Chains A and B, each alone.
Chain A
Amino acid sequence: MIELRNGGFAYPGGASLFENLNFTLGRGESLSILGPNGVGKTTLLKTLLGFLPLGEGEFHIEGCGKGKEFWNIVSYIPQAKTPSFAFTVLDMVLMGRASSVGIGRAPGKKDYEKARDALTLTGMSHLEDRPVNRISGGQLQLALIARGLVKDPSLMILDEPESNLDMKNQLIILDILDYLKREKNTTIIMNTHYPEHALRLSERALLLGKNCRYRSGETHEVVTEQSIREYFQVESALIEYSRGDRNIRGILPIHHI
């Protein structure tokens, strides 16, 4: 069980970015964090990860402390950005084992096995020897997800994993995240600019707005035409499409207010 209780944050000398935020998540559940630019979505992720101190309240993962213990079960997947040095995809993914490879040691056979498993799961095996500056943005994001997977995390925190990707790559990422939830019981928290991705993947959603307003709850209750109007100042239509046993919902933006 993962819980944020009365979470609040303000930059030094600035107004509060958010306050009194609450959510709880069970194992294998997913939370999408939505909201317009500048309301503190990334800041919220950074406070959950401990990169920024939570001003008030606390973020708690059942049975898990801080520091090394935290990073043994939590993976953070940043937005895909080519690193300064163009490691191969395999070397990049191997770095995900850093918490279990001691100082002064290098990854061993087991670490390589884990890395290759993660590459297989993300469909990236054929690119393992390719330098990361010679793969596409979508492939780099998949490599970063693979890197996050090698420690078998219970919680994955992703910062806009589908931004800057084409439609097919977006769906590939969402399918992988959905698989991890169902098959590996991984809990997922992600920022997204796409309400339909929240509807597709997450049971729960957190919609952040200006002046510390927020709405939290089940995704279909949070992502509505009315809340999109209120929080984004956009008129939209909620559309539903069924094929077989799949029911897909999306938000069609009409015009801004």
Chain B
Amino acid sequence: MIKSLEKSSIPLSGMLLLIVILLSLAAGRYSLSPVQVLRVLSSHISGADYDGPVLDQTVVLSVRLPRILLAAVIGASLAAAGCAMQSLFSNPLVSSHILGVSNGAGLGAALGILLSGSIIVIQGLSVLMGLAAMGLTLVVSRSRKGSGVHMLVLAGVMVGAVFQALISLIKYIADPEEKLPTIVYWLMGSLAGTSMKDLLYGVPALVISLAVIFFIRWQLNVLSLNEEEALSLGVNVKLMRLLVILSTTVISAVSVSLSGIIGFVGLVVPHVSRMITGPDHRTLVPVSIFLGASFLVVVDTLCRSLTTAEIPLSILTALIGAPFFTWLLMKTGGSWND
């Protein structure tokens, strides 16, 4: 960990996000220069007339901006949820997928497509089933008094496996001409066609959950100690756990409902951030938020501009995330303190 980098990591990662957003607004099949993008944005904010083609404004403000904002919020939320889960389990190797929420939300989406196909039904069922999966995990893990986080993880893995199997079952019985491809593409995730109106569906829930994690970030330090230690330091461990589980569940479920199952971000981004900032969540959480947002904006920009057809988000997240993480692991040996 480099001391000077640690101190300036929050403003630096914030600036990185702004630059990434600017470049992403400019990138795509209808290519613009960053200067043109800035002129479109400034004329929109100030209300002055833009002297370039109208298409510039449409592409930047109506097509790219909503999609980029959604990618940023989802990336930020998944990264923050990863930080919170890693603290809750005192383990840098877990992510918010571990409690079965993503698979639950995936099942909800698949069911929604099978039954109706309306976007509200799909997203609603997705969030509902995500929450149901979390509830089931909690019920199983609490069946015996005094069982701790190990039981929670095992319960999550079991519940996740059942829901994964149910997704396969739905795929198996779905109409292969119409429903099956829709389910498959949905689960692969895509932010294509996001409009400003779409932002109203999931973004408020994501932002509220993200804010909860941000506000309790110092307490996440204490929560990462073992339970008895955290309790003896005077932290309301039950309340903190509840806040973390609820906010990460909402983030997982809502993000799946908006963009399919995106692996990696919740695991990799907190890891990379920890290498830069050290484990103090006061710095780690904001840096993870900025880096998570930047990462997903970059990946989504590549999804829409690499080929003429859209590449599903989860494919590129893994194809870019996995080699990058492997490279980082080989370079550092997986350590973030030496």
From A83, A91, A96, A99, give the contact of B280 (CB < 8 A): A91
Q: B229 and A151: CB pair below 8 A? A: no
CB of B90 within 8 A of chain A? yes
List, in ascending order, chain B residues with CB within 8 A of A72's CB.
234
Taking the nearest CB of chain B, how far is it from the CB of A9, in angstroms? 14
Interface residues contributed by chain A, number (CB under 8 Å): 34
Give the segment of B46-54, B59-67, B182-190, B212-220 that binds chain A: B212-220
- Assess whether A84 is in contact with B92, with CB atoms less than 8 Å apart: yes
From known contacts A104-B216, A105-B218, A133-B337, infer whether A71 and B224 are also in contact, taking CB-CB under 8 Å. no
Q: Which of B3, B222, B226, B278 contacts A98 (CB 8 A)?
A: B222
B228 interface residue per 8 A CB criterion: yes
Which residues from chain B contact A83 at a C-beta distance below 8 Å? 90, 224-226
A78 to chain B, nearest CB (A): 6
Q: From residue B322, how far is it (CB to closest CB) to chain A in Å?
A: 24
Nearest chain-B residue to A98 (Cβ)? B233
* Interface members, chain B 205-264 (any A CB < 8 Å): 215-219, 221-222, 224-226, 228-236, 239-240
A28 interface residue (CB < 8 Å to B): no
Q: With A and B bound together, what is the CA distance between A134 and B335 in angstroms?
A: 13
Inter-chain contact A91/B234, CB cutoff 8 Å: no
Q: Is the CB of B232 within 8 A of A49?
A: yes
Whether, in the assembled complex, A85 has its beta carbon less than 8 Å from a beta carbon of chain B, the answer is yes
Query: Is the Cβ of A96 less than 8 Å from the Cβ of B233?
Result: yes
Q: Can you list 5 A-B contacts (CB < 8 A)?
A: A83-B224, A84-B224, A96-B233, A98-B235, A103-B215
Which A residues have a C-beta under 8 Å from some C-beta of B?
46, 49, 51, 68, 71-72, 74-76, 78, 83-88, 91, 95-96, 98-101, 103-107, 129, 131, 133-134, 147, 151
Q: Given A91-B221, A98-B230, 11 other A-B contacts at CB below 8 A?
A: A51-B228, A51-B231, A84-B91, A84-B92, A86-B279, A87-B221, A88-B280, A98-B222, A98-B233, A103-B240, A106-B218
The 4 A-B residue pairs with the shortest CB-CB distance in the complex, in nearest-first order: A99-B234, A85-B279, A76-B232, A71-B234
